[in-house]
Structure 1
């Protein structure tokens, strides 16, 4: 299997990226495919769908050896689950699957057809393997159970950013940043209230700490 293009996002590093697609709806990315896949004809009719499935490569998590079990971060990094019972990036074929919203389709001279999508959970430059339309009547399963993921689906932090720091954040990135921080980027096994964490997002280094389920942004470096 070979990559057919890449997605370009505001995440230069893994840390801080939402653990699932759709958790932060304001996060956008641009999918640019390589020739000959970027021709207009290959996307004919794609505007008739509101959501897409993206198959991509966990390019930062490639390992030569196979482990049948992994430690999901949401379980505190202590309990093991079978790799096929999780969405761990450490998989035999390192393939990721994301459901994203199609925001815009642009046909350009330089890049060919470019897709703008939202709800992304991918690092900048992530290789793309394939794009398929989301079909609601077949893909939506309201009665599905989701193991430990159901228990933690509403785990969100309260985010506090003072006005002095808030003015340093571009207006079109503020709501996305708050959404990222609400999802608690920290590994579940790290709960040191004195520790200062940092995530790189949209050409900013956001410093923060967490205490009593309240995340406070302490500094922003550019």
Structure 2
């Protein structure tokens, strides 16, 4: 059996790899599928939460993951995987931004009451602040089909203030809830998954 194992480091990368395979017709294998719910696009955020960072597919069109990174062979890094997908499928370059940034780009693109160049000139500081490169943004505003902007899925995390007044966030260590004072070290996930772990001690907040 031929398999491809992709190593990811963030929840966004985990979801992006699965989205590519779902689009190509891959499905979870019998051991990992959500048989009770019968959901096709199920992301298994629980596996990422518990430390899994290796996603795999076989030539049998099956998706699976390695528990706690048990695969010891050669893995493909996320950036290499996505670059290959772009080359194979002539995919557009997709940038993910917040809803507010996306809405502002649509406003500039519509350039109501003025030329597109005029709208771009007036919004030069905003365009520069997006941080994905002016060239890509200008191509997008000019309707270049090779450039896409999508709204980034909003992620959330749990926080609380301890007895010393320090703000802490929930994280997981080998599947066990723990805490950290680092926002970047906190467990982040879509709201549906975060709500599973909320107790009266924790509040939910958006994660940038």
Would the TM-score normalized by the shorter structure come out above 0.5? no
Q: Which has the larger radius of gyration?
A: 2
TM-score of the pair, normalised by structure 1: 0.25
> Greater relative contact order: 1 or 2 (C-alpha under 8 angstroms, separation 6 or more)?
1
TM-score, normalization: structure 2? 0.27
The structure with the largest helix share of the pair is: 2
Larger proportion of strand = 1
